[in-house]
Amino acid sequence: MKKGIVKYQSEIGLSDDELAEILTFLENYVEVHEATNIEDAEMSGVYTSLKDYGLDLLKEIYSCRKVLRGLSAGEAEEVRIYIRERFDLDKKVPTRRAEYVSMAENILEGHSAQPVEQPDFVVPNAPFDRLQAALDKLRPALENISRERAESRSKTAELNRLRKKGERILRNVYLRAIAHWGVEDKRLLELGMMYKRGIWTSKKKGNSEGNGVEE
């Protein structure tokens, strides 16, 4: 497209200022389009990490609950009640991220709190250390996804603005070209545009990937 517009500038009656505007637009569009693709790829990577870290956290929540139930099974009823209440063992593990993050925080808070009511009930630190590590990995990913969403929306909005601007600029090029060449001229392809018969030929052949040029 760019080479074709430069090549046929004088033939289709584009001024130097108009050509400069077109070339600047094309360069900006390519740059923003590539940046948008990068943002999309980064978003995909962050979502994957977020999903993996979330699953890891859920696994450690279940592990802690299993340990707590196992250790309290042989204790007196009042101890079992205390443990169930302190660590939310009667609640189902939620599937929503914000809710199971809150559950993990509650479990860790319960473990770190001084067990005044049942001072003799002691649980090992290892499962809670793993839970804390899983939570520490998830939190930065949550921050990253918020930042990436904002950046992605910004780039998408910028790309959409350029597309609207491009519709006006490139339509002007097309109208200039067909005014000088007509709608059947195959040189339109060099401008990144389709000539009329090429469109009809492409539809007739049902070739959605073809360039519309008659063979």
What is the per-residue pLDDT for 62? 95
What does the pLDDT look like over 98-130, one tens digit per residue?
Answer: 999 999 999 998 888 755 555 566 778 899 999
Q: Which two tokens stand for residue 15?
A: 């001024």
Strand ranges inside 49-156, DSSP E: none
Angstrom distance (rounded) from CA 164 to CA 167: 5
What is the per-residue pLDDT for 127? 92
Angstrom distance (rounded) from CA 135 to CA 30: 40
| 55 confidence band (pLDDT: 50, 70, 90) | very high
What does the pLDDT look like over 123-140, one tens digit per residue?
Answer: 788 999 999 999 999 998
Average pLDDT for residues 142-157, to the nearest whole number? 84
> Domain segments of the chain: what residues?
28-163
Mean pLDDT of the chain: 83
The residue type found at 107 is I
Average pLDDT for residues 200-211, to the nearest whole number? 44
Q: Report percent pLDDT > 70 for the chain.
A: 87
What is the per-residue pLDDT for 40? 80
